[in-house]
Structure 1
Amino acid sequence: MRKGMALLLAGILAASSLAGCNGAGGANKEAAAKAEKKASDITGKTVVFIPKLTGNAFFESAAKGAQKYGKEWGINVDYQGSPNAAVADQVSVINNAVASGVDAICVSSVDATGLDSALKEATAAGVSVVTWDSDVSDTARTLMVSQGTPDILGKMLVDMGADSLTKRGKDVKADKIKYCWHYSQATVADQNSWQAAGEAYIKKTFPNWENVAPDNYYSEQDAEKAVSIGASILEANPDIDLIICNDSTALPGQCKAAQNKGLTKEDVTITGFASPMSIKDYCNAGVIEQWGLWDCQVQGAIGCYLAAYVAAGNQLKVGDKLDIPQIGTVEVMPNNCLVEGAATAEVNNGVVLLPERTIFNKDNMNNYDF
């Protein structure tokens, strides 16, 4: 587990994300004023914890955290997934879980809508559905445990790139910075929302920057393809300044491609989201200056707790606060925190945000074991 998570962007979370999370159905002053809820009836519940794909450091770490906390809470967290990041594979896992009689499902979706039908059938069968990391349609799940709003995460990605460029002598306000995005695929809701928010932030803050690949580069969360796509980016754009990898498979793949080509952080700036352990060798080798993430172990654990809580027959409304043992208090917020204009059902529907994110570099990366 983490040894000392550094709190970052705390002011941004309070001033930016919360300001855009108003006006959804189910939100009212009475709910917002309720005292923290405490649950004691989740013991014995079984939650199937589903990643986008197995074998990835981010998802393996999240599963480790979910199972660790689950044991302390008395719930069974069953980690099930596929090594392929495919809708069909996730649907198969979901259907098998429902058929086996589990109480709840906690899933990170590879597609914004591709799992909707299977998850609605799971709900109809009495299985509670929570998403984490990457969402589905808000009508196909109860709660979503998100790492942050698109504005927070898009800005974080761009700012890490800008800071790294500055450290290698670039004037990010005056120079014509050539950049691109490399991530999993066009159908992943969370990564697309970060990219869109990041693009808007770049246009406003760094209008001199040039996106050399407006259609983006995608490597489908395939580790080998992430390296080959990373290599093709460098071949097609030998003068590129910045590559933003908002995906935990794309980032190590891009770093590997740069290393294979003999490039360092002085030649090209690479940044993005991935677990510290999956990138620190590249940092030690001088390939990358900094990257970021959040505590995926806590995120996975919160998702499983909420799934078991709803499965136990409890209800949550927007504004309700829930005390999660060993983690702390979380608050249910409306769906428009993540998707502008999204409605929120009266009961058991909404978003829970993680309170913090972390930037990793050579000075702090060894303080974490995920």
Structure 2
Amino acid sequence: MDLETPPPDLYGRPGADRFLRRMTAFADWYNPLMGRPGVRRSPRRPAARPVPPLQLVVTVHRPVAEGVVELRLADPGGDPLPAWQPGARIELTLPSGLVRHYSLCGDPADRGTYRIAVRHLPDGGGGSAEIHDRLHPGVRLSARRPRNGFAFCAEPAVLLLAGGIGITPLLPMARQAQHLGLDWRLVHVGRSAESMPFTEELRALDPDRVEFLTELTPAAELLARAPRGAAVYCCGPAPMLAAVQRAFDPAATRALHFERFGAAPILDGQPFTVQLGSEGAKLEVPADRSALDVLREARPGLPYSCHQGFCGTCKVRLTAGTPAHRDRRLTEEDRAAGAFLPCVSRAAEGETLVLEV
């Protein structure tokens, strides 16, 4: 997920939130203080307990477009599921052990089921194939509670731009925009009408506000659909996101929020080397590739998921070398202990990182 212009406060209000600003300043002062030697935490405050994973069962597995299946997941005992908001993702641990992230595309008001939609990727890492071929009704799996790095701020006017399966986080946003009476538009771009899921569901919200395109359309023309002063939410393949970013005019629209599926392009990388253990093979990492991509060529079973440095699935141990950490997951304590996320983190030109993989 990337956020071009974060909302000024938790509710997307144009003015700065003084309370949150003061709380942030207090936290910046207080947190380092509590980490100093000799400073003890209050004995009345219990240590945070780890949140147990959710246990889910597949209740529905059905095709919703060419190469796309919909899954509905529920608590095996019928208990309500944790609440979520449009834009949220869920992290699933599949029966094979693979960990994958998927946007929730159902109705947040439905606490009985989570809904995801997954496109089959023949050249992917196996997660989509497992979901298509093996996750039929009755299969159980575990999940982390929903997290949201692509929050919908419900600005008065919004344009939702979806590319392919990128419709999944935007569908709940369109539903909420319609419910709130916002001035909204949605454009879904796909390679064919048959490959685009949930078209009838979107049309049912308001056919005059939804447009489906199967021809290559310049990003500037897509952005021209935005109401004046609208916020733009975009989710889709990397080329689409890059084109929208280049064409975005902040003078005409309020903000650009976007989420990418897959790794961001590496624009400022330097070539470096990773070594498999203290006596293992040395692998060259080019300036335009990630260490994870290179490592997986030598270790195909190396786990991964988000490619964006926030899930931690690909974590390996660094035993020598000076890294350039670029992730959004590891704490300073994790990094000091040698944790390294090769999906996004790198090293300076000519540096060698020794990794235990």
If the length of structure 2 is used for normalisation, what is the TM-score? Answer: 0.31
Q: Which has the higher helix share?
A: 1
Give the alignment's TM-score, normalised by structure 1: 0.31
Larger radius of gyration: 2
| Greater RCO (CA < 8 Å, at least 6 residues apart) | 1
